[in-house]
Amino acid sequence: MNGLLASLGVSNPVLAAPMAGGPTIPAMVAAATRAGSLGFLAGGYKTAEELAAQIGSLRGSTPVFGVNLFAPNPVPVDRDAYHRYAVAIQVEADQYGLDLTSISPLEDDDQWHAKVDLLRADPVAVVSFTFGIPDPSVIRDLHRAGSLLVQTVTTPEEARLAASSGVDALAVQGFGAGGHYGTLTPDHLPVPVALPDLVRQVRHVVALPLVAAGGLANRVDVAAVLQAGADAAMVGTVLLRTDESGASDPYKSALGEGGDRQTLVTRAFSGRPARALPNLFTARYDAIAPEGYPAIHHLTTPLRRAAAAAGDSDRINLWAGTGHASAQEGSAEKTLSRLAEAL
Ligand SMILES: Cc1cc2nc3c(=O)[nH]c(=O)nc-3n(C[C@H](O)[C@H](O)[C@H](O)COP(=O)(O)O)c2cc1C
């Protein structure tokens, strides 16, 4: 990656992770560039048109950046379990005048084909994938378009599989990561392996450049993953409260008040395991949430939207990695520069 990063003009090996659902906005990607780092637009949940607009808004000021996509790897929901869950969480939606029980399960592909077409036609420096490994034709086409390709993996087995797909680098995501666990097998919960150990395990089986992510909170954590064989580090949670984060106000406040609270891995919001701060919603529904992505994500979206608008942090997904206590206010540029000091 160091060679790859140098070829992109990136001097700071602490990269800014893509964070879909609001936190990553073009300003955060531009801040990463100012810090000598590399940022990724979060293509997930957006329409292809919305992603195109964000790409367009960065082009002039920030020529080198990445785009992250959710590659299809659906976990179809069981219809009965879906309806039982909709009925269970309806009590939360009642106070916003929403009817979740009438929403049919939606198993869409997050406009995958339209987004790939966009990146074929309007290439960016780096494209990264999570949740699934794209078809060989997509890898071939995006390579032809001139993009470097990065695949998220969470185990050595996934690393082997990803390496054989022809991508250029791997994002090795550890169990402490905030947000969705980018595993190829979301029916399995993350195995608690310390990130430096996971990097060593992956380094042992693949020769590709590695970007280590998950729970990195300070310079010591960053140095440890580089020491273990990663070529770069990537942080998400520590950027969530920064000036350039588009996270909602109740989300930022909850992080600010998070103290040393333990995070949990939950399917309650999306039907796919994700690490979050506990709140009323996880306390009530974590235990009964079915598997099923993206259907459960779509089911809870109207509630989360209404709750965010109302400043209600009890009914939104407070994605957070294990290092959330280090998420500070201030500029993202300074945060990324500070994490890379004396490396
Ligand atoms: C709010 C939030 C949203 C995220 N969204 C994405 C995403 O859209 N795509 C992706 O590949 N990873 C996503 N991630 C995971 C990050 O890429 C990265 O693995 C993680 O932030 C690293 O762990 P940390 O949050 O402890 O630093 C998200 C993480 C958070 C906290």
Residues 17, 33: contact at Cβ < 8 Å? no
Per-residue pLDDT averaged across 155-162, rounded? 98
Question: Beta partners for 319?
Answer: 276
Does residue 151 carry a pLDDT above 70?
A: yes
pLDDT reported for residue 315: 98
CA of 266 to the centre of ligand 1 (A): 15
Check pocket membership of 23 for ligand 1, CB cut-off 6 A: yes
302: which 2 tokens? 């109207």
151: which 2 tokens? 């695949």
Rounded-to-integer distance, Cα 109 and Cα 243, Å: 32
Please compute, for residue 115, the number of CA atoms within 13 A of its CA located in the half-sphere on the CB side. Answer: 26
The closest alpha carbon to 132, from 24, 293, 268, 290, belongs to 293
pLDDT reported for residue 1: 58
Superfamily assignment of 2-74+110-245+326-340 in CATH?
Answer: Aldolase class I (3.20.20.70)
The atom of ligand 1 lying closest to the CA of 214 is 23
CA of 94 to the centre of ligand 1 (A): 30
The closest alpha carbon to 174, from 219, 214, 133, belongs to 214
pLDDT reported for residue 3: 79
CA of 97 to the centre of ligand 1 (A): 31
User: Could you give the C-alpha distances from 331 to 38, 135, 159, 336, in angstroms and in order?
Assistant: 15, 38, 33, 9
Beta strand segments in 165-309, E = 169-173, 179-180, 210-213, 232-235, 264-266, 274-276
| Edge-to-edge strand ranges of the sheet holding 148-153 | 14-16, 232-235, 210-213, 169-173, 148-153, 126-130, 66-70, 40-42
Question: Beta partners for 275?
Answer: 179, 265
Segment 331-340, tens digit of pLDDT = 999 999 999 9
The atom of ligand 1 lying closest to the CA of 322 is 26
Query: Residue of the nearest CA to atom 8 in ligand 1?
Result: 20
Query: Residue of the nearest CA to atom 11 in ligand 1?
Result: 130
**CATH 3.20.20.70 segments of the chain:** 2-74+110-245+326-340
Collapse the DSSP code of 39 into the 3-class scheme (helix H, G, I; strand E, B; otherwise coil) and give the result.
strand
Query: Residue of the nearest CA to atom 30 in ligand 1?
Result: 179
Structure pTM? 0.98
Q: Please state whether beta strands 169-173 and 179-180 pair in parallel, antiparallel, or not at all (unpaired).
A: unpaired
pLDDT bin (cut points 50, 70, 90) of residue 4 is: confident
Segment 230-269, tens digit of pLDDT = 999 999 999 999 999 999 999 999 999 999 999 999 999 9
